[in-house]
Amino acid sequence: MSASPKILLVKLSSLGDVLHNLPIVWDLRARLPHAQIDWVVEEGYVHLLTPLLTRDGFRGIDRIIPFGLRRWKKNLFSLAVWKEYFAFRKILQTTTYDVVIETQGLLKSAIVCSLAKKSQDAVVIGLANATEFSGYEPLARYFYSQSVRVPTQCHAVDRSRQVMCSALNWPLLERSTTPQFYPKEWITSISKSSISELNAPYVLCFHSTAREAKRWANMHWVAFGKELAARGFQVVFPWGNAAEKSVSDLLASQISNALVPPAFSIETAFSVIAGAALTVGVDTGLTHLAAVLDKPTVEIYCDSPRWKTEGYWSNRIANVGDIQSPPTVKEVLDASLKLLA
């Protein structure tokens, strides 16, 4: 392989999955500084990748290629949707790739791999098996030239690294090579949140997640929030839809000076998280965003395995609870106060 291969990363969604795929950009760039690195991602998650765009002497992702499948599926018979699809395919095929790395193991991602224009000896690589508690579609293997078998219990970051190392025939990267997510200089430059109701010091509490069983009990949030409020912290309960807002309103109504902020975008989430004294949240994308930004973070696991997504790369991250073993209020409070000290 040349010293400047053209590499395509395919990780479409969701928020946490995209975040946990970021380290391979740094891994690739460290060993192949002159490579072209492009990434296909769902359009709703483009803002997660823009801080890694190549610019001003920084080499990261050379091209982000937005993919609108979630939106397109709602209007499959629309001429405008099909025009967008063919425009996407045209953009994807403007580069001939030498390596295509697909770390999700889903049919939709594998089909994107098949649409990419590839060199004669291109490597198209993906997962050969499922990992526990993760989505996987075996048909995806038929779109790869190589499949990588990974441990069934494998952290999302480690899994992506294993696929990448196999694609390039590199020795497996161990955790001793600490994963990096965003440029440190960029993190320190994140501007203050424009949400005027936020009063420092504030603690973000991400109580919502896609699966109800992964939530921490409302009574626990209230007890925890009261302890923080008594120590002078503003407790903040963000939300993403009407049902989540109802829960946020209910929790905040029982805690002194608590705030239910306006809905905010992923782009705004960076500044909201960066300004927080602490982020506490269940196993959900915005909690993981705080962890990859290396901000003080307590990750609460109630009905998902800790080994799958826990933040292991920093002593500013505490992981409490585990699958079918939610943490107590005391455990979360003790972890929080230790990080706030």
Same domain, 60 and 122: yes
Q: Is residue 3 over pLDDT 90?
A: no
Query: What is the tally of structural domains in the chain?
Result: 2
33 in Cβ contact with 6 (< 8 Å): no
pLDDT (0 to 100) of residue 218: 98
Average pLDDT estimate for 150-168: 98
* Same domain membership, residue 200 and residue 75: no
Instruction: Kindly state the helix (H) or strand (E) to which residue 160 belongs, with its residue range.
Output: helix 156-168
Asked if residue 272 and residue 324 are part of one domain, the reply reads yes
- Confirm whether 242 is domain-assigned: yes
pLDDT in tens, 86-144: 999 999 999 999 999 999 999 999 999 999 999 999 999 999 999 999 999 999 999 99
238 & 329 share domain? yes
Tokens standing for 17?
A: 């999955």
What is the average pLDDT score of the chain? 97
Label residue 331 left, alpha or beta by phi (over 0 means left) and psi (-120 to 50 means alpha). Answer: alpha
1 located within any domain: no
Q: pLDDT tens, 192-251?
A: 898 999 999 999 999 999 899 999 999 999 999 999 999 999 999 999 999 999 999 999
What local confidence, expressed as pLDDT, does residue 310 receive?
A: 98
Whether 95 and 223 share a structural domain: no
Q: Domain containing 151: what range?
A: 6-183
**Beta pairing partners, 9:** 39, 101
Predicted confidence (pLDDT) per residue in 303-341, tens digit: 999 999 999 999 999 999 999 999 999 999 999 999 999
Among residues 122, 153, 183, the one where a domain terminates is 183
C-alpha distance across the termini of the chain, in Å = 50
Could you tell me if 96 and 8 are in contact, meaning their C-beta atoms sit under 8 angstroms apart?
no
pLDDT at 188: 96
pTM for this prediction: 0.96
Are residues 197 and 140 located together in one domain of the fold? no
**In the predicted model, is pLDDT for residue 1 greater than 80?**
no
CATH code, domain with 32? 3.40.50.2000
CB neighbour burial string for 197-221, b if at least 16 within 10 angstroms, e if fewer: ebeeebbbbbbbbeeeebbbeeebb
Whether residue 284 contacts residue 290, with contact meaning beta carbons closer than 8 Å, is answered with no
Residue 102 within any structural domain of the chain: yes
